[in-house]
Structure 1
Amino acid sequence: MNTSSPYQTLENLFRETALIGEAMSVLHWDMAVMMPNGGFEARGEQLAALKVIEHSKAVDPKIGDLLDQAEETALSDLNEWQKANLTEMRRGYVHATALDADLVEAHSKACSNCESIWREAKKESDFNTVLPALQEVLDLSIQVGEAKAEKLGLSLYNALLDQYEPDGRAEEIAPIFEDYAVFLPEFLPQVIEKQSQHGQKTLAKGPFSVDIQRQITKKFAETVGFDFDAGRLDESAHPFSTGHRGDQRITVRYEKDTFGPGLMAVLHECGHAMYEKGLPKEWSLQPVGESRGMAIHESQSLIVEMQACRSREFYQWAAPVLQEAFGQTEGFGIDELHRDAIWVEPGFIRVDADEVTYPAHVILRFQLEQALLNGDMKLTDLPSAWNEGMEKLLGITPPNHALGCMQDIHWFDGAWGYFPTYTLGAMSAAQLFLAANEEKPEIKTEISKGNFAPLMSWLGENIHQKASRYSSQELMKQATGRALDPTAFKNHLTTRYLG
């Protein structure tokens, strides 16, 4: 190809922008893991400045001209990957040009400020302290949504959702969630009755040394395939995965009285990291080489955590490892650990929820953020609306805001429209895991031996290596033979919990 062609020039420009994004990911990681509290103000300014530079590059008028020129000759000049890259470039350009630099800077600073206030206010369950900062983030997020909605020809909410789930639409998600909201009230009591017939939750007795937990989580991460020569495992208030080429970073939060949440969090984040690691190297720093939306991303973490590592097969391997590490066998039998891993019980915290009740947490957030963004509800009413929603969906009421509307970082950090991708990811994971096992029946047997290679190779071939060449729905069709079908998720739950 002509190295000075419009398309090649675009590749060079998008590469520069992607490099800035990689630098920001490290600064965000440092802010959550290493940075002292006194650094929040300066870090907010640093990130805002880089965001403005990134945005100025992304909206350079010559990109629009180059896109027009490249699209005119795409059919004759470009291969299929390049055509897909051009499509993703156009998508990114439309999103970027919808916003002016002042709004980008204001939104970035407001999010950094609100996040820092939230971290302290959450400790005291003090919603009123963070309310003004959250109101500013909400107001600016609405401005971002309105600007993008006009440019994309979408509703405000769909414009924000499109940032995280390309082509995702609330009107298509709502029926899926409504169907589950109808399914859950009848299914949940059956599950709780069935599990009561097999004894109570075991919960091996702690306390559990944090140092030993660190050793165990490292071993489990390596077992899944996490490469510590090209990654790190650290600690943060909220587990997450980030990083870039050759530098994947995951975090965990340990608790002395229980090891399960920390262990599962690491396995979950490994799923994210393995996806990023598996993206095609030849397309790194290009839009087509990025992960395909957050629903697919979440499916990759949940295939590892929920589908594979909460299976009985997994504990055939894990039980002896845990027994040896903690030096005890009581509560560490295969059946006991498996029972604990799939124990179903309505709770207040989304990240600790079982896979049966988890969608209810997402459905609540999906409903509330639409109401807030559309002006149907005031932010001051969020705590009471949250509590009412939890009571309606799960029959429980949070005793304080830290266990209620303040528990997640997402809204306080400006990620409005993100939450639906979690449950879409869970449903995708069930469908993908079923297809993987149909094609490779040895997957579960190998997991019982601590060998994740068959599963990860299938995911690599069917999801990771395809990056953003196809839409989420097309990826699902190619991998499973059909678009996302929530029936697979309900069948999985019925088999695991009532079978």
Structure 2
Amino acid sequence: MSEMTTAYSKLEKKFARLSALSGAAAMLHWDSAAMMPIGGSGPRAEQLAVLSLVSHEMLNSPDVADLLMEAESEIVTLDDWQRANLAEMQNRWRHATAVDPDLVEAHSHATSRSELQWRDARLNNDFASLVPALSEVVQLTQRIADAKSDAFGVSPYDALLEEYEPGCTSATIDVLFDDLESFLPSFLGEVLENRKNTPPALAPEGPFDEAVQKQLGQEFMTALGFDFDHGRLDVSHHPFTGGIPDDVRLTTRYETDDFTQSLMGTLHETGHALYEQGLPKDWRCQPVGSARGMALHESQSLLIEMQLSRSEDFMAYALPRIKAAFSGSGPAWEVENIERLYLKVEPEFIRVDADEVTYPLHVILRYRLEKALLSGDLAVEDLPAAWNSGMRNTLGIAPPNDRLGCLQDIHWPSGAIGYFPTYTLGAMAAAQIYSTAATKIPDFTNKIRTGKFAPLLEWLRGNIHSLGSSLSTESIMQSATGSPLTADAFKAHLRNRYLP
């Protein structure tokens, strides 16, 4: 990066400070979910609000606008990474200056309160208790979306989507999701019909000690390339990956009667973590060194969890280790049964437990509901009824209570409207990337079966991770796979796996 005292180099220093503040906030968020006693919630909300406000004020200061304008005149002296970094700086500045600082602070306070209320509401199956806090978050998010919509000349929903997947629009998503929705219900019916006479998978009998589950998860994390000198694994209500690239914080949750939920959740978050740990080291304190967007982030988690870890090749490596960890024996532990267990297809209430055939339908429902919440077409108090109706229409089931329905996700209470579609965009990207990697890496199948994952990680690092935000998602996909993102590889993957 530049050592000259130029407008651009001054911006680098300012954004490095902003990165430090963002990293501190990320650690506080992780701590509040994984470690903090309930009594610390009030001060923690204040700490996060102050950090958010300070960051917003720093980005909004008049000298940043002047430096950005001056740096434009220096662009011919910048290399490709610096130019990409400047573009990312400008984009962050545009987002920040579109929103009043008081609104940013109010939104931070509201989401902190709402997240805490969500935990109690979910535990007690009490959606009504969440309505006031969630309504406040939705109203403040609407105001933020309107402000950014006016500034950027896009729809309010697209203005929020830009925060999670830059350059993507709801019009693009609608085309991709309409394609999937026209395919998935009939495909789901075909799979279920095809499996009518298949013996049901036998669930290995527990209990499964949590300490053993954690040890097993860490063993697979290490094998896949996770660096425990720069990260850790803990427990939270809702699995997530946080922290910073040099100190990645994963969380999972354990069920003593079913080790598969925790293991798959841990592997999912490991995909996120490997992406973070693989971001370009020289640019980690700059915007260009960040992950490109959540679609690519989700592609990396789903590549590990769905494309890799549920494959026949991976099971040849993993099952002996799983059996040894839990002293498993008998029919339930045979490879054919474990594969049936991992590749079970059945409509479920909980998104994070859904199979990869039905999962996109969960996301499409949430995508449409959050658009309706943002536009005001759906009131928060009417969310349970709309949710249950949507579940019946898309998956043919309706949850018996809100804990298994609209209370299951933390995203809306935390203000993350515009995030959900990136899960399925990520699933499509994962299939496209993994199928390409399988053709590019010599002797790929045998490497996976024998636990040699380094070539796969190396390929991902070179083609995805190390690029950070230096290119658009579309350009990264085009460069890595030879094609922009489509649903074709994902549909082909589902056909090959579930209707061989």
For the aligned pair, the TM-score class normalised by the smaller chain equals over 0.9
Q: Deviations along 1:287-342, whole A, 9 cap, x unmatched?
A: 00000000000000111110000001111011110111111222222222121111
Return 257-266 or 173-182, whichever deviates more.
173-182
TM-score by length of 1: 0.98
Identity value in percent = 49
Whole-Å Cα distance in 2 between the matches of residues 293 and 196 of structure 1? 40
Whole-Å Cα distance in 1 between the matches of residues 417 and 339 of structure 2? 35
User: Which segments of 5 or more consecutive residues in structure 2 lack a partner in the other structure?
Assistant: none
Whole-Å Cα distance in 1 between the matches of residues 481 and 262 of structure 2? 31
Per the alignment, residue 99 of structure 1 pairs with: 99
Per the alignment, residue 46 of structure 1 pairs with: 47
Per the alignment, residue 491 of structure 1 pairs with: 492
Whole-Å Cα distance in 2 between the matches of residues 235 and 120 of structure 1? 17
Secondary structure of the corresponding residue to residue 249 of structure 2: strand
Is residue 278–residue 465 contact of structure 1 (8 Å, CA) maintained in 2?
yes
Whole-Å Cα distance in 2 between the matches of residues 202 and 273 of structure 1? 32
* 1:103-252 mapped onto 2 (5 Å cutoff): 103-252=103-252
Whole-Å Cα distance in 2 between the matches of residues 325 and 429 of structure 1? 29
How far apart are residue 73 of structure 1 and its match? Answer: 2.5
Secondary structure of the corresponding residue to residue 228 of structure 2: coil
Q: Deviations along 1:21-67, whole A, 9 cap, x unmatched?
A: 00011100000000011111111011001110111111111111111
Whole-Å Cα distance in 1 between the matches of residues 260 and 362 of structure 2? 20
How far apart are residue 444 of structure 1 and its match? Answer: 2.6
User: Which segments of 5 or more consecutive residues in structure 1 lack a partner in the other structure?
Assistant: none
Secondary structure of the corresponding residue to residue 298 of structure 1: helix
Which amino acid in structure 2 is aligned with residue 92 of structure 1? R
Q: Deviations along 1:65-112, whole A, 9 cap, x unmatched?
A: 1111111231x2000011100110110000011112110110000000
Secondary structure of the corresponding residue to residue 413 of structure 2: helix
Is residue 85–residue 287 contact of structure 2 (8 Å, CA) maintained in 1?
yes
Whole-Å Cα distance in 2 between the matches of residues 197 and 498 of structure 1? 14
* 1:441-460 mapped onto 2 (5 Å cutoff): 441-460=442-461
Q: Deviations along 1:366-409, whole A, 9 cap, x unmatched?
A: 00111111111211211100000000000000000011111000
Whole-Å Cα distance in 1 between the matches of residues 195 and 301 of structure 2? 26
How far apart are residue 229 of structure 1 and its match? Answer: 1.5
* 1:65-464 mapped onto 2 (5 Å cutoff): 65-74=66-75, 76-330=76-330, 331-464=332-465
Secondary structure of the corresponding residue to residue 47 of structure 2: helix
Which amino acid in structure 2 is aligned with residue 64 of structure 1? A
Which amino acid in structure 1 is aligned with residue 199 of structure 2? G
Return 333-342 or 7-16, whichever deviates more.
333-342
TM-score by length of 2: 0.98
Return 122-131 or 333-342, whichever deviates more.
333-342
How far apart are residue 246 of structure 1 and its match? Answer: 2.0
Is residue 201–residue 338 contact of structure 2 (8 Å, CA) maintained in 1?
no
Is residue 289–residue 468 contact of structure 2 (8 Å, CA) maintained in 1?
yes
CA RMSD of aligned residues (A): 1.0
Per the alignment, residue 470 of structure 1 pairs with: 471
Whole-Å Cα distance in 1 between the matches of residues 468 and 3 of structure 2? 25
Whole-Å Cα distance in 2 between the matches of residues 441 and 187 of structure 1? 32
Is residue 107–residue 141 contact of structure 2 (8 Å, CA) maintained in 1?
yes
Whole-Å Cα distance in 2 between the matches of residues 15 and 457 of structure 1? 28
Which amino acid in structure 2 is aligned with residue 122 of structure 1? R
Whole-Å Cα distance in 1 between the matches of residues 33 and 3 of structure 2? 43
The runs of 4+ residues in structure 1 deviating greater than 6 Å are none
Whole-Å Cα distance in 1 between the matches of residues 20 and 84 of structure 2? 20
Secondary structure of the corresponding residue to residue 234 of structure 2: strand
How far apart are residue 2 of structure 1 and its match? Answer: 5.7
Whole-Å Cα distance in 1 between the matches of residues 78 and 106 of structure 2? 39
How far apart are residue 160 of structure 1 and its match? Answer: 0.5
Secondary structure of the corresponding residue to residue 248 of structure 1: strand
Instruction: Report how many aligned residue pairs link the two structures.
Output: 498
How far apart are residue 441 of structure 1 and its match? Answer: 4.1
Which amino acid in structure 1 is aligned with residue 311 of structure 2? S
How far apart are residue 125 of structure 1 and its match? Answer: 1.1
